[in-house]
Amino acid sequence: MKLYEHMGKELFARCGIPVPRGKLVETVDQAGEAAAELGEVVIKSQVLTGKRGKAGGIAFVSNPGEAKKEAARIFDLKFDGLTTEKLLVEEKIQIEQELYLALTIDGAARRPLVLASLDGGMDVEEVAEERMIRWPVDNTIGLQDYMVREICRRMGVTGSLQKEFVKFMPKLYRMFREMDAELAEINPLALTPDGLIAADAKVTIDDDALYRHPQLPRITEKTALELKAEELDLAYVELGGDIAVMANGAGITMATLDMVQHYGGDPANFLDFGGGADIDKTTQALELLLATAPKVLLINIFGGITRCDVVAEAFVRVKENKGIELPVSFRLVGTNESEGRAVLEKEGIKTFNSMDEAVRHAVGLTA
Amino acid sequence: MKLYEHMGKELFARCGIPVPRGKLVETVDQAGEAAAELGEVVIKSQVLTGKRGKAGGIAFVSNPGEAKKEAARIFDLKFDGLTTEKLLVEEKIQIEQELYLALTIDGAARRPLVLASLDGGMDVEEVAEERMIRWPVDNTIGLQDYMVREICRRMGVTGSLQKEFVKFMPKLYRMFREMDAELAEINPLALTPDGLIAADAKVTIDDDALYRHPQLPRITEKTALELKAEELDLAYVELGGDIAVMANGAGITMATLDMVQHYGGDPANFLDFGGGADIDKTTQALELLLATAPKVLLINIFGGITRCDVVAEAFVRVKENKGIELPVSFRLVGTNESEGRAVLEKEGIKTFNSMDEAVRHAVGLTA
Amino acid sequence: MSVYINQDTRVLVQGITGRQGSFHTAQMLAYGTKIVGGVSPGKRGQVVEGVPVFDSTFEALESHPADASILFMPAPFAKDGALEALEAGLKIIVLIPESIPLHDAMDIMAYARQKNAVVVGPNTFGLVSSGSSKIGIMPGRYFVPGPVGVVSRSGTLCYEIVGNLTNDGIGTTTVVGLGGDRVVGLHFVDVLKKFEEDPATETVVLVGEIGGSAEEEAAAYISSSMIKPVIAYLAGRSAPPGKRMGHAGAIIERGRGTFESKVEALSEAGVKVADLPTAVSPLVKNALDKT
Amino acid sequence: MSVYINQDTRVLVQGITGRQGSFHTAQMLAYGTKIVGGVSPGKRGQVVEGVPVFDSTFEALESHPADASILFMPAPFAKDGALEALEAGLKIIVLIPESIPLHDAMDIMAYARQKNAVVVGPNTFGLVSSGSSKIGIMPGRYFVPGPVGVVSRSGTLCYEIVGNLTNDGIGTTTVVGLGGDRVVGLHFVDVLKKFEEDPATETVVLVGEIGGSAEEEAAAYISSSMIKPVIAYLAGRSAPPGKRMGHAGAIIERGRGTFESKVEALSEAGVKVADLPTAVSPLVKNALDKT
């Protein structure tokens, strides 16, 4: 779950990480009032996109009048289809240098990873490999001072700035660990006459750990249908084609989509209803797909922990209760396969043995 | 540093460990007032001894009048020479069973150690080995729930009491680690209708880690001279004999005392002035010893990190400034030995090569 | 020969009294897996599918020595269960649960490293020594002995491909599910090394997907150190670009992680990359015919 | 032969620019120790006694490979320095500082276990392979080659005893200071095992003291597994009983820890326990004459 900048900064502040003084506002007038209070300010759209700056979502102003004008302009902008609901109005800080600092998870090392560079700012992705220091942190001991000093040495940082980092980084690490963050990114990390200040905050919390953080607000970037799917604990993404696809397992669902495209079809969605779903969940997954009114329904089941008879019974239940009018291509093999086929055959529904056949059949049905 | 019961309980409470409601009082009248407020109470002398209960330092009373009487009685008691300066007046809790729980440091395992028993109370030291569960905690992962469950299984604890322990023990572990405790002992750990309550608290903080805990009060059990020695960062213990002993290193100081006794002498003290002491510290150590007015001074130096010339110069300095009238037996070998001897010989002071000779000479001087 | 497990591997089932735990205990026993005990706190004395249940792994091991453990508990309790199994001395831990918090997974992996233990998963179907022992939730009948080693990031897709092989009369030595999470215990390289060393494995199938850099690392290893032929299939060719993890994601991956980068890396390492899952089996047949 | 270290052991000095660090660097070099580099954050480029100084162990090791490190920093920084040395890959860490917090020491030992490294100390004089290399602060001239292995909890007392041996013409193979703290890396048993295996060591001297149970554990090991003769001296016969650590102290020690218990345990294990430190050397001479 991505957090808005102001929420990330709240978490930072709670861990003792310096952030600029600021106010969260929802209207143009409030933006003016905040500027009147804070003096020279920067106004920042609170949207969940990385390209906010380049898209004009950030403005520096020196008086309340300008603040209102710029706030109004930003409220009217679209960022990848997103609009601004809140603005963060912050005191302008005196930036001597823009650095980059992030903590994330290194899947290859199976450890927290520090990324640090003296070349922060808008184009950090372009920084040369040797100017971006990576340090996987041994999580049995956590981020120790020597690690910070060594990261600094590799960055070419010494003296008082190194001392600043020795104070700063362990706080970010603590926040990263305690909040179950997948990402805690500060870009730019501003070097000011008062030391290091987090001028921005990109924090992502691990969805699977949200239950441990009831105090966090719940934020979503999903469509209404995707939200419905989330409620049902289904992995669902809208894609825009006409063949609705339902499969069990992320890998095979992706492979099914790949195969649909391979044979010239156009998938309507990604829907992985997971392993071991019971009849209710399977029923709900089917109903959700039917509600999107696709041309063809492609079901690809290779039952492992998923039981074929449960899928078949769910299908029959939906057919009986709501009716299934559109053409269906149904592939069903694996655990309790014969029981599942028996259920479907009673209803006159044919199944395929092979994924290849089922996909080609589905694509054929759209022709 | 041992903490008084009420301080230990404060640390417990801060970590969410249940303790009885109570008041710390300094006078008989305050004890009466506390009893008036709390009802049936237990009055406990706040002294740093383990035998307080058996020595009459704990009283159960049911009204303010009794409370004052018992408070007065306890204020008059002596515990191994210690008197009571404060009383803890606590609500009487309904104890169904007295358990034992402690966290300490297992030198053999180099790990924190949980000690737990269903047989808590006054005679816990007598509990049979198999009734006292020991669990060294792997400190790279800390006290996990499964460890608590396993400790419970070995104690024979199941059901709701096990669930209580799963909540309780990790709090004690956290406090133990965060506060640099050498010991966090609860005896008795009271099982009450409201769950587990720490009815007592014996907490010892690692002296070497006190610098990390400036918020803790400083408590001492030392004599005035020992305190002075502590200020000078000397390891000093009064022993009561007439041969003042000064050596460098705890082991050799102990061995010197052993040898003094072996040859029929009576050491006045243990004084280890440590390794690598500079001239000022060595001077102060000598002055401290002379201030105790012993019959004989025995100095046993085997210089490693300690430099013989530094010790010799310190001796000469004290001799010149304050005078050293009593007979001295001086053994001096090791790092910069010849330089040290030269300094002493200029002052007409003879040194011994062997510890054995020096000790026998010192004992002879007391005859 | 066997990789990681064989017919003598003694297995504990943690969370044996749950719905999944008991179901798959029966399935594993039916396959031939040597399950020696089950663990379910508070359920000591119960018997599940003929398997005695204990309150803790420590208790189970007192009377029933074991080598491996498979965990079926809900995700919030998986870290506790995994650490318990590791401290108790088990050397192969199979983590079935999905949705284990990433920081928990990192803690588990760090402790496993300390204990020199192998963690399979989390979010895996487990692993199987075909015809001998399965520690996992895969449908047993597709896993018949043969000369092919299979390692996969995804579950059902792996069954699909192994099913095709089986239908074509090609069996497997060992099949390992790495698990679909961002932090997992085994990576492709670990398993490829085992396959390269295993005399019974003649050809290797690698089933990957987009995201991460495990396939690129596998390609580097194959290129430098493998002699046995490797056939790959990668899912996600048609997937829209995923939502980025700040700049850090891009910085870490540095262009790796895409379908194209993985196909290129593997192809350069001499791996035949199948277009469709159904194309894997013919490529394997080809490779086996040549050896 | 050598135990833990020999003349080829390459040593880093952490905290080399301090008073103690630079003094003992000179002393160790004079003894023959192969010191390859020093570490002192912020002091890169300095040279101490001819030894180049680096900002970190990592930096030092980039150009100056090493096997061991000796630490001279103040106690509050010792944990950081020790963990750094361990993560950088050094396998022998000698912790000179005293007053390291016990919880820091436990953290250091846990990480050392992970890294399969040996920690000597804290609060130790270090260790010396007599005539070849010393990593520590002991006065070099007493440590001359010979057939006796010495292991001690205390420092100066050990010099005393080794000094007596030297004066009597008896040299040492290796002398190890375990350190005087409650949590130390090496225990008697670890070093006794090495001495038992070391062909150059004919007789072993153990210098113990009251408190803890390390001597009793040593006695159990000697009784079950040692053939070489062991001579012991224990300090603290005349010490008043120490202040107790709650009931827990008594529960842990269960009667061990006293002078009498240690003497009894060692005597029963066949160890000759000397009455006085000066009595050790004659007993060693006796033992050597017999072998």
pLDDT tens, position by position, B330-357: 999 988 899 999 999 998 899 999 999 9
What pLDDT shows up at residue A276? 75
* Cβ-count burial B109-136 (b if 16+ within 10 Å, e if not): bbbbbbbbbbbbbeebeebeeeebbbbe
Tokens of A354: 């092979």
**Could you tell me which residues of chain A have a Cβ less than 8 Å from any Cβ in chain B?**
140-141
pLDDT bucket at D252, cuts 50 / 70 / 90: low
Q: How far apart are CA B58 and CA B79, in angstroms?
A: 12
What pLDDT shows up at residue B114? 98
Phi and psi torsions of B8, nearest 5°:
-60, -40
Q: Examine the domain organization and report whether A311 and A269 are in the same domain.
A: yes
Number of C-beta neighbours around residue D72 at 10 A: 26
Whether D195 contacts D201, CB under 8 Å: yes
Interface B:D, Cβ pairs < 8 A: 187
Q: Is 90 exceeded by the pLDDT of residue A305?
A: no
pLDDT tens for each residue of B77-120: 988 778 899 999 999 999 999 999 999 999 999 999 999 999 99
Q: Name the strand (E) or helix (H) holding C173.
A: strand C172-177
Q: Nearest by CB to C238, which of A115, A180, A258?
A: A258
Q: Name the strand (E) or helix (H) holding A73.
A: helix A64-76
**C-chain residues within 8 Å CB-CB of B161?**
none
Share of chain C above pLDDT 70, in %: 93
- The residue in chain A having the minimum alpha-carbon distance to the alpha carbon of residue B138 is A140
**Fold exhibited by the domain D10-120:** Rossmann fold (3.40.50)
CA distances from A231 to A222, A285, C181, D251 (A): 12, 11, 21, 55
Q: Is 50 exceeded by the pLDDT of residue B69?
A: yes
Mean pLDDT lowest for which of A58-72, C238-252, D211-225?
C238-252
Q: What is the mean pLDDT of residues A160-187?
A: 97
- C55 and B CB contact within 8 Å: yes
Optimal mutation site among C114, C115, C116, interface D, most CBs of chain D within 10 A: C114
Q: Examine the domain organization and report whether A124 and A162 are in the same domain.
A: yes
Contact B305 D101 (CB under 8 A): no
Q: How far apart are CA C31 and CA C131, in angstroms?
A: 7
Torsional sign, CA D156, D158, D161, D166: negative
Give D 124-143 residues with CB within 8 A of chain C.
none
- C87 and D CB contact within 8 Å: no
Q: What is the mean pLDDT of residues B291-299?
A: 93
Q: How far apart are CA A330 and CA A295, in angstroms?
A: 14
**Could you tell me which residues of chain A have a Cβ less than 8 Å from any Cβ in chain D?**
138, 140-141, 144-147, 149-150, 153, 158-159
Residues 6+ apart with CB under 8 A from D284: D148, D165, D170, D203, D205, D231
Contact C180 A356 (CB under 8 A): no
Tokens of C120: 């399979």
What pLDDT shows up at residue C244? 46
Q: How far apart are CA C15 and CA C10, in angstroms?
A: 16
Which of A212, A240, A263 terminates a domain? The answer is A212
Q: Is residue B29 part of a domain?
A: yes
- Which three-class secondary structure state does DSSP give residue B14? helix
- The residue in chain A having the minimum alpha-carbon distance to the alpha carbon of residue D106 is A141
Q: Is residue A303 part of a domain?
A: yes
Q: How far apart are CA D162 and CA D158, in angstroms?
A: 6
Which of B212, B232, B262 terminates a domain? The answer is B212
What pLDDT shows up at residue C242? 57
Q: Examine the domain organization and report whether A230 and A357 are in the same domain.
A: yes
pLDDT tens for each residue of C233-265: 999 888 766 544 556 766 666 667 789 999 999
Residue bearing tokens 């070391």 = D198
Radius of gyration of the CA atoms of chain A, in A: 26
Q: Is 80 exceeded by the pLDDT of residue C284?
A: yes
**C-chain residues within 8 Å CB-CB of D114?**
113-114
Same fold, D10-120 and D138-290: yes
Q: What is the dihedral of CA B119, B123, B126, B127, to 10 degrees?
A: 0
Q: Can you give the CATH number for the domain in which A60 is found?
A: 3.30.1490.20
Phi and psi torsions of A62, nearest 5°:
-115, 0
Q: How far apart are CA B280 and CA B301, in angstroms?
A: 17
- D87 and C CB contact within 8 Å: no
Optimal mutation site among D111, D114, D116, interface C, most CBs of chain C within 10 A: D114
pLDDT bucket at D256, cuts 50 / 70 / 90: confident
CA distances from B38 to B27, B61, B96, D220 (A): 16, 11, 20, 55
Phi and psi torsions of D27, nearest 5°:
-60, -45
Optimal mutation site among B139, B140, B150, B151, interface C, most CBs of chain C within 10 A: B150
Q: Is residue B6 part of a domain?
A: no
Work out the mean pLDDT of chain C and round it to a whole number: 94
pLDDT tens for each residue of D111-137: 999 999 999 999 999 999 999 999 999
pLDDT tens for each residue of A5-30: 999 999 999 999 999 999 999 999 99
Number of domains in chain B: 3
Q: How far apart are CA C160 and CA C155, in angstroms?
A: 9
Contact D83 A141 (CB under 8 A): yes
Q: How far apart are CA B165 and CA B163, in angstroms?
A: 5
Q: How far apart are CA B329 and CA B297, in angstroms?
A: 6
CA distances from B21 to A204, B35, B61, B195, C246 (A): 43, 11, 15, 15, 51
Q: Examine the domain organization and report whether B236 and B337 are in the same domain.
A: yes
Q: Can you give the CATH number for the domain in which A351 is found?
A: 3.40.50.261
- Which of B74, B75, B135, B76 minimizes the C-alpha distance to B106? B135
Q: Is 90 exceeded by the pLDDT of residue C24?
A: yes
pLDDT tens for each residue of A337-361: 999 999 999 988 999 999 999 999 9
- Which spans in B77-121 are helix H? none
Q: How far apart are CA D156 and CA B306, in angstroms?
A: 9
Optimal mutation site among D53, D83, D107, D111, interface A, most CBs of chain A within 10 A: D83
Which of B61, B91, B121 terminates a domain? The answer is B91
Q: Is residue A16 part of a domain?
A: no
Rounded to a whole number of angstroms, the distance from the CA of B206 to the nearest CA of chain D is 7
- Centroid of chain to Cα C190: 11
- Which of A37, A47, A34 minimizes the C-alpha distance to A6? A47
Q: Examine the domain organization and report whether A119 and A67 are in the same domain.
A: no
Rounded to a whole number of angstroms, the distance from the CA of A67 to the nearest CA of chain B is 46
Residues 6+ apart with CB under 8 A from A177: A112, A139, A142, C103
Tokens of C105: 């997974």
DSSP B280-340: HHHHHHHHHHHHT--SEEEEEEEESSS-HHHHHHHHHHHHHHH---S-EEEEEEETTHHHH
What pLDDT shows up at residue B297? 96
Sequence ranges of the domains in chain D: 10-120, 138-290
Q: Examine the domain organization and report whether A235 and A360 are in the same domain.
A: yes
Contact B212 D157 (CB under 8 A): no
Interface C:D, Cβ pairs < 8 A: 3
Residue count (chain C): 291
**A-chain residues within 8 Å CB-CB of D81?**
146
Q: Examine the domain organization and report whether B333 and B286 are in the same domain.
A: yes
Share of chain B above pLDDT 70, in %: 100
Q: Examine the domain organization and report whether B276 and B229 are in the same domain.
A: yes
Rounded to a whole number of angstroms, the distance from the CA of B232 to the nearest CA of chain D is 15
What pLDDT shows up at residue C144? 97
Q: Examine the domain organization and report whether A53 and A186 are in the same domain.
A: no
Q: How far apart are CA B311 and CA D234, in angstroms?
A: 27
Query: Residue A359 sits in which domain range?
Result: 224-365
pLDDT tens for each residue of B22-53: 999 999 999 999 999 999 999 999 998 777 88
Mean pLDDT lowest for which of A91-100, B269-278, C190-199, D86-95?
B269-278
Q: What is the mean pLDDT of residues C127-147?
A: 95
What pLDDT shows up at residue C246? 58
Q: Examine the domain organization and report whether B65 and B124 are in the same domain.
A: no
pLDDT tens for each residue of D22-60: 999 999 999 999 999 999 999 999 999 999 999 999 999
CA distances from D228 to D42, D204, D287 (A): 49, 7, 9
Work out the mean pLDDT of chain A and round it to a whole number: 93
Q: Examine the domain organization and report whether A147 and A268 are in the same domain.
A: no
What pLDDT shows up at residue B80? 79
B101 burial (CB, 10 Å; 0-12 / 13-18 / 19+) is buried
DSSP A150-205: HHHHHHT--HHHHHHHHHHHHHHHHHHHHTTEEEEEEEEEEEETTEEEE---EEEE
Whether A70 contacts A61, CB under 8 Å: yes
Q: How far apart are CA B61 and CA B46, in angstroms?
A: 17
pLDDT tens for each residue of B153-207: 999 999 999 999 999 999 999 999 999 999 999 999 999 999 999 999 999 999 9
pLDDT bucket at D244, cuts 50 / 70 / 90: very low
**Could you tell me which residues of chain B have a Cβ less than 8 Å from any Cβ in chain C?**
138, 140-141, 144-147, 149-150, 153, 158-159
**A-chain residues within 8 Å CB-CB of D57?**
146
Q: What is the mean pLDDT of residues D203-232?
A: 95
What pLDDT shows up at residue C97? 95
What pLDDT shows up at residue D231? 98
Q: Parallel, antiparallel, or unpaired for β C172-177 and C126-129?
A: antiparallel
Q: Is residue A233 part of a domain?
A: yes
Rounded to a whole number of angstroms, the distance from the CA of A181 to the nearest CA of chain C is 8
Tokens of C20: 């999944």
What pLDDT shows up at residue B329? 96
Q: Examine the domain organization and report whether B48 and B138 are in the same domain.
A: no
Q: How far apart are CA B34 and CA A47, in angstroms?
A: 58
pLDDT tens for each residue of A91-130: 999 999 999 999 999 999 999 999 999 999 888 888 888 9
Contact C83 B141 (CB under 8 A): yes
Whether B129 contacts B142, CB under 8 Å: no
Whether C247 is a known active-site residue: answer: yes
Q: Is residue A335 part of a domain?
A: yes
Q: Can you give the CATH number for the domain in which B136 is found?
A: 3.30.470.20
Partner chains of D (3+ C-beta pairs under 8 Å): A, B, C
What pLDDT shows up at residue C252? 66
Contact D84 A146 (CB under 8 A): yes
**Fold exhibited by the domain D138-290:** Rossmann fold (3.40.50)
Contact B305 D20 (CB under 8 A): yes
Q: Is residue A357 part of a domain?
A: yes
Q: Is 90 exceeded by the pLDDT of residue B242?
A: yes
Q: How far apart are CA A166 and CA A151, in angstroms?
A: 10
pLDDT tens for each residue of C178-202: 998 999 999 999 999 999 999 999 9
Contact C246 A183 (CB under 8 A): yes
Q: Is residue A249 part of a domain?
A: yes
- D83 and A CB contact within 8 Å: yes
Global pTM value: 0.93
CA distances from C170 to A319, C145, C286 (A): 38, 8, 11
Whether D144 contacts D172, CB under 8 Å: yes
Q: Is 60 exceeded by the pLDDT of residue D14?
A: yes
**B-chain residues within 8 Å CB-CB of A140?**
140-141
